[in-house]
Amino acid sequence: METKKIVTQQRLAAWAIIAALPSLTARATDLSYTYLDFQSLNNSINKTAQQSPLPGQTVTIDTSGGNGIAAAGSYAFGSRFYFGGYYRSSVVDYSGVVTSPIATDKASGTFDLVGSSLSIGYVHKFGEKLDFTADIGYESSFYDFGSIGGENFDLKDSGAAANLGLRWNPRKPFELFAIAHYSAVEKADLTAHRYESGTSIKAGFRWYFFQNLGLGLEHESGDIDVTTISMRFSFGNLPL
């Protein structure tokens, strides 16, 4: 069911791109690709994992949600290319149950979720309002748990990542955007102690209330659902 949902979202994004092309002119947009973002994250992570660190003992945890901060940036070079990257750090809640032949104990705590990425991207401008972006890069993910009963749910790995996106400037102070994201470390299987590749969809908007300063709101739906509020400092062309 989840796979069908992702495929449907990807098809809708592709058709949106195709449908927009005929009405576009040859003029270029003024959207900036040199910027620095400071972000506040709200994460929703619904995972259940189980391990048996000792004979007859079972540790089960359920993750929920938590908050974090992030910094992201991009630097344009040439007329069509940019370097990009981000660093994210969040503290997420979990609850646990330790079951053994002599007792059952409940516990709760937090774990650190850290992610980072570096990429190189390409911009193709369709008219004066719409940009198509594509980038490839390298992404890392780290789930850093403590231990409540001798178990080890820590998980860390990195791998290839890619994005396809649209940035639309319908009116001068506003920007709407949508991004389809692929990552080799998208899905964390804490029980099997491994990552699986997967995709996510991100969409949001920005309002530039000063010439080089904008406020953004976005939501990413995937293995982790993340709602982000961001403050963007732009350098170069702006949608004003």
pLDDT above 70: residue 130? yes
CB 226 within 8 A of CB 42: yes
pLDDT above 80: residue 13? no
Task: Give me the half-sphere count of Cα atoms (radius 13 Å) on the Cβ side of residue 73.
Answer: 6
Q: Which pLDDT belongs to residue 164?
A: 98
Smallest CA-to-CA distance from 181 within 230, 125, 117 is with 117
pLDDT above 60: residue 52? yes
Mean per-residue pLDDT of the chain: 87
Confidence of residue 25 (pLDDT cuts 50, 70, 90): very low
Q: Which pLDDT belongs to residue 28?
A: 52
Rounded CA separation 168/166 (Å): 6
CB 27 within 8 A of CB 128: yes
Rounded CA separation 205/234 (Å): 15
Q: What does pTM read for this prediction?
A: 0.82
Over residues 205-237, the pLDDT tens digits come to 999 988 789 999 999 999 999 999 999 999 865
**pLDDT, greater one: 25 or 12:** 12
Q: Which pLDDT belongs to residue 236?
A: 67
The partner residues of 228 in beta bridges, in order of sequence, read 41, 218
Q: Which pLDDT belongs to residue 16?
A: 46
Share of the chain above pLDDT 90, in %: 68
Smallest CA-to-CA distance from 88 within 176, 183, 9 is with 183
Q: Which pLDDT belongs to residue 222?
A: 95
Residues 6+ apart with CB under 8 A from 232: 35, 36, 37, 206, 208, 213, 214, 215, 216
Other CB atoms within 10 A of residue 35 CB: 21
Q: Which pLDDT belongs to residue 5?
A: 47
Q: Where are the alpha helices (DSSP H) in the chain?
A: 2-20
Residues 6+ apart with CB under 8 A from 5: none
Smallest CA-to-CA distance from 137 within 90, 93, 83 is with 83
Smallest CA-to-CA distance from 175 within 121, 217, 225 is with 217
Rounded CA separation 228/33 (Å): 19
For the chain, domains (ranges, CATH) are: 2-234 (2.40.128)
Name the percent of the chain in helix, strand, coil, to the closest 5.
10, 65, 25
pLDDT above 70: residue 173? yes
CB 161 within 8 A of CB 139: yes
